[in-house]
């Protein structure tokens, strides 16, 4: 049993001592968006309907909400 512990500790030493430099630095792309995060409460039934509609139209909930609000504002 102690032989296995020794093997394991040797293996751990090798893993911990290996310092490999990354081949490539990954940096996220910065996208300029004129957006602000906003949270609100809505009726559960409406949210279910909204999700279904987004699936049917192959679009995002965000897109439907943005279009709806823009339409509402333009139709004073």
Say what the pLDDT of residue 50 is: 97
Say what the pLDDT of residue 45 is: 97
Q: Does the structure show a pLDDT above 70 at 18?
A: no
Question: Which residue would you say has higher pLDDT here, 13 or 39?
Answer: 39
Predicted model pTM: 0.56
Report the C-alpha gap between 64 and 76 in whole angstroms: 19
Q: Give exposure, 26-65, as e/b (b: 16+ Cβ within 10 Å).
A: eeeeeeeeeeeeeeeeeeeeeeeeeeeebeeeeeeeeeee
Per residue in 20-64, pLDDT tens? 666 778 787 777 788 888 999 999 999 999 999 999 999 999 999
């Amino acid at each position: 049993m102690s032989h296995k512990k020794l093997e394991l500790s040797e293996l751990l030493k090798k893993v911990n001592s290996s310092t490999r430099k990354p081949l490539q630095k990954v940096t996220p792309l910065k996208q300029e968006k004129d957006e602000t995060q906003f949270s609100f409460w809505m009726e559960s039934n409406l949210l279910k309907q909204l999700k279904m509609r987004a699936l049917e139209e192959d679009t995002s909930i965000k897109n439907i909400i943005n279009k709806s609000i823009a339409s509402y504002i333009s139709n004073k």
